[in-house]
């Protein structure tokens, strides 16, 4: 593609994207990149061998020198690394197809890089395009409504809205290509482990639609938890969930023989709701006027935790059966599991 001319003295940013089978949204997404108030110096899109017409749309944009498309059968981490390796600039902005990028996304990222803090990583912000009460409930159940005011916003950006110096990516050895799901979280942790400087760009917004069905939500949460378990992300939280649900299950099973044992399942159930679900559900009622939103959020949160337990157990089994996860993690970041990392750097 021809490199975009910028009248601004702002830094030059390469935008990299991964995509596979996004025919319904890819044109809108690319237009949102082309309409940036700060034009990207280059846009590199790695297509993971789409077969739904996505490539044909990308070809049209490439023919107009708007983007550069690379086709490669790969996972997300491999696609991002391949795209970054082909960039010409030091500053890399990362997002994903399926999103809509706010017109000022890149200029806000550039401003953050140019602050006296001289950051290595700029964590962008994000928001959701909810079409119905289920999607709104999913967001309220899985994201802290006050996230933008927490450390998570700074240190755990989504790779739908993040930017970093290419030298930081190189020193971190890129995204972990041996990990499917949770690869962006582990990459964030690796950058922190290497003491790179993070800042949060609150106005650098990217919008995407949350999971639309119970099935899609289950698959997403299972995969997240499976990926987390393979490398030791959030182990303590998963173990707490297993403890509560294990106690509840034991007493429910015993009640099949001794009905009075059912009473004993109530206490761990109460503690689980009180300690793990109640606060988030109460926050949801302050963010939404939907009827019964409190109970809807409790239900979805519990569903997410059950899927998380199943995914975590499967991920631990993967780690036990396939020693390559341990070997790769040791080679990539010098530790066998995040449980061995200082607490300040863990997810």
Sign (positive or negative) of CA dihedral 153, 157, 91, 97? negative
Whether 185 and 221 share a structural domain = no
Q: What is the per-residue pLDDT across 180-208, written as a single tens digit (0 to 9) for each?
A: 889 999 999 999 999 999 999 999 999 99
Residues of the chain with pLDDT below 50 are: 2, 5, 7-8
Instruction: Tell whether 61 and 190 lie within a shared domain.
Output: yes
Nearest to 95 by CA among 113, 109, 114: 109
Residue that terminates a domain, selected from 178, 208, 238: 208
| pLDDT of amino acid 8 | 46
* Cα 275 from Cα 73, distance rounded (Å): 44
CATH number of the domain at 108, please. Answer: 3.90.550.10
Partners of 100 in the β-ladder: 207
Q: Could you tell me the sign of the dihedral formed by the alpha carbons of 204, 212, 27, 57, in that order?
A: positive
Q: How many structural domains is the chain composed of?
A: 2
pLDDT at 5: 45
The reply to whether 150 and 30 lie within a common domain is yes
17-52 tens-digit pLDDT: 999 999 999 999 999 999 999 999 999 999 999 999
Is residue 245 classed as helix, strand or coil in its secondary structure? helix
| Structural domain includes residue 4 | no
What's the confidence (pLDDT) of residue 1? 56
Residue 250 belongs to what domain range? 214-345
330 and 254 in a common domain: yes
- Whether residues 109 and 72 share a domain: the answer is yes
């Amino acid at each position: 593609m021809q490199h975009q001319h910028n009248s601004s003295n702002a830094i030059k940013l390469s935008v990299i994207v991964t995509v596979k089978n996004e025919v319904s949204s890819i044109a809108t997404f690319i237009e949102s990149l082309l309409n940036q108030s700060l034009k990207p110096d280059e846009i590199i899109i790695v297509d993971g061998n789409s077969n739904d017409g996505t490539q044909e749309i990308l070809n049209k944009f490439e023919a107009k020198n708007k983007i550069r498309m690379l086709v490669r059968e790969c996972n997300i981490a491999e696609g991002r690394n391949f795209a970054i390796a082909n960039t010409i600039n030091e500053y890399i902005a990362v997002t994903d197809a399926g999103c809509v990028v706010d017109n000022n996304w890149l200029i806000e990222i550039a401003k953050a890089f140019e602050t006296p803090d001289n950051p290595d990583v700029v964590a962008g912000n994000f928001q959701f395009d909810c079409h119905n009460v289920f999607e709104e409930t999913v967001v309220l159940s899985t994201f802290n409504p006050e996230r933008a005011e927490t450390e998570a916003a700074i240190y755990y950006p989504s790779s739908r809205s993040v930017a970093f110096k290419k030298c930081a990516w190189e020193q971190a050895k890129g995204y972990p290509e041996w990990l499917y799901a949770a690869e962006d979280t582990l990459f964030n942790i690796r950058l922190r482990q290497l003491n790179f400087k993070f800042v949060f760009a609150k106005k650098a917004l990217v919008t995407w639609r949350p999971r639309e069905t119970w099935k899609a939500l289950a698959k997403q949460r299972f995969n997240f938890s499976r990926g987390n378990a393979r490398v030791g992300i959030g182990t303590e939280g998963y173990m707490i969930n297993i403890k509560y649900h294990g106690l509840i299950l034991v007493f429910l099973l015993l009640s099949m023989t001794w009905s009075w044992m059912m009473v004993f399942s109530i206490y761990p159930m109460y503690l689980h709701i009180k300690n793990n679900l109640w606060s988030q559900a109460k926050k949801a009622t302050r963010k939404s006027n939907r009827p019964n939103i409190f109970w809807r959020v409790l239900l979805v949160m519990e569903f997410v935790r059950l899927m998380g337990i199943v995914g975590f157990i499967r991920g631990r089994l993967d780690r036990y059966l396939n020693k390559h996860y341990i070997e790769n993690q040791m080679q990539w970041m010098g530790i066998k599991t995040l449980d061995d990392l200082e607490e300040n750097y863990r997810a």
